[in-house]
């Protein structure tokens, strides 16, 4: 009888721990290429920090909260198209260098992005990180950045025609994004597995905040 009780107790503990990992937190290893303060350690990821991503519908969340500039986050590599499930891609760790609504700067000649205004190196053109529900003006300078984001992550068809954004077959001068987005960096110049490679990260890709 005592043996059965012990086994039952162990089973309950395992189920509770599994439930906590699925619903409350996750455990990840911070790669040495990252400049996260906890590099090389196993860390807890708070799954509720930005709203709990429902396992049966990852586009929906309980207790939705935007990530903030400066947060270190665990996230899935942004899907390459709206048809790809956001919670099935590779896991990355990075720092939110610019949150939804923040302004970053791009260089017209190189196409590169800087999180600060840098006139000396040509980062002089402002680009607002897409924010959910806000109509963003589309112009020659930002059309390529926004068009790629819309095509990959927004539930609509978009293209660039003669330097102008075409949405669902119509040329538009503004677009209302349906998700919040972030510019996330590893903060290691040698590690480009971040927004420098795949652009804006949609909120749906966030797993949680690193504690």
pLDDT score of 6: 60
Residue 15 pLDDT class (50, 70, 90 cuts): very low
Tens-place pLDDT, residues 147-186: 999 999 998 888 999 989 999 989 999 999 999 999 999 8
Reply yes or no on whether the pLDDT at 123 is more than 70: yes
Residue 77 pLDDT class (50, 70, 90 cuts): very high
- What is the CA angle 61-45-56, rounded to 5? 35
Burial class (CB in 10 A: 0-12, 13-18, 19+), 36: buried
Q: Which range, of 32-36, 41-45, 54-58, averages the lowest pLDDT?
A: 32-36
**DSSP per-residue codes, 134-180:** PEEE--TTTHHHHHHHHHHHSSS-EEEETTEEEETTEEESEEE-SS-
Compute the residue count for the chain.
211
The rounded mean pLDDT for the chain is 83
Average pLDDT, integer, range 187-198: 83
Measured over the CA atoms of residue 160, residue 80, residue 124 and residue 101, the dihedral's sign is positive
Reply yes or no on whether the pLDDT at 140 is more than 90: no
Q: Are 56 and 87 in contact (CB under 8 A)?
A: no
pLDDT score of 4: 59
Query: Which residues partner with 93 through β-bridges?
Result: 74
Q: Which range, of 179-183, 189-193, 196-200, averages the lowest pLDDT?
A: 189-193
High-pLDDT (> 70) share of the chain, %: 81
pLDDT score of 19: 46
Reply yes or no on whether the pLDDT at 32 is more than 80: no
Reply yes or no on whether the pLDDT at 86 is more than 80: no
d(C-alpha 152, C-alpha 2), whole Å: 57
Reply yes or no on whether the pLDDT at 68 is more than 80: yes
Average pLDDT, integer, range 67-88: 87
pLDDT score of 208: 93
DSSP 80: S
**Domain limits, the chain:** 25-210
């Amino acid at each position: 009888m005592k043996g059965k009780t012990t086994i039952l107790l162990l089973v309950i503990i395992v189920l509770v721990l599994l439930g906590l990992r699925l619903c409350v937190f996750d455990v990840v290893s911070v790669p040495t290429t990252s400049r996260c303060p906890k590099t090389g350690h196993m860390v807890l990821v708070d799954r509720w920090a930005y709203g709990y991503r429902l396992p049966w519908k990852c586009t929906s969340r309980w207790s939705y909260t935007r990530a903030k500039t400066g947060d270190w986050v665990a996230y899935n590599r942004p899907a390459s198209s709206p048809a790809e499930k956001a919670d099935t891609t590779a896991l990355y760790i990075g720092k939110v260098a610019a949150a939804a609504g923040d302004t970053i700067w791009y260089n017209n000649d190189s196409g590169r992005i800087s999180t600060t205004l840098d006139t000396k190196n040509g980062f002089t053109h402002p680009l607002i990180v897409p924010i959910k529900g806000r109509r963003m003006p589309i112009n020659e300078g930002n059309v390529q950045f926004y068009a790629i984001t819309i095509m990959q992550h927004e539930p609509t068809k978009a293209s660039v025609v003669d330097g102008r954004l075409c949405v669902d077959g119509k040329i538009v001068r503004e677009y209302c994004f349906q998700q919040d987005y972030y510019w996330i960096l590893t903060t290691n110049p040698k590690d480009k597995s971040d927004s420098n490679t795949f652009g804006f990260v949609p909120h749906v890709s966030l797993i949680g905040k690193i504690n």
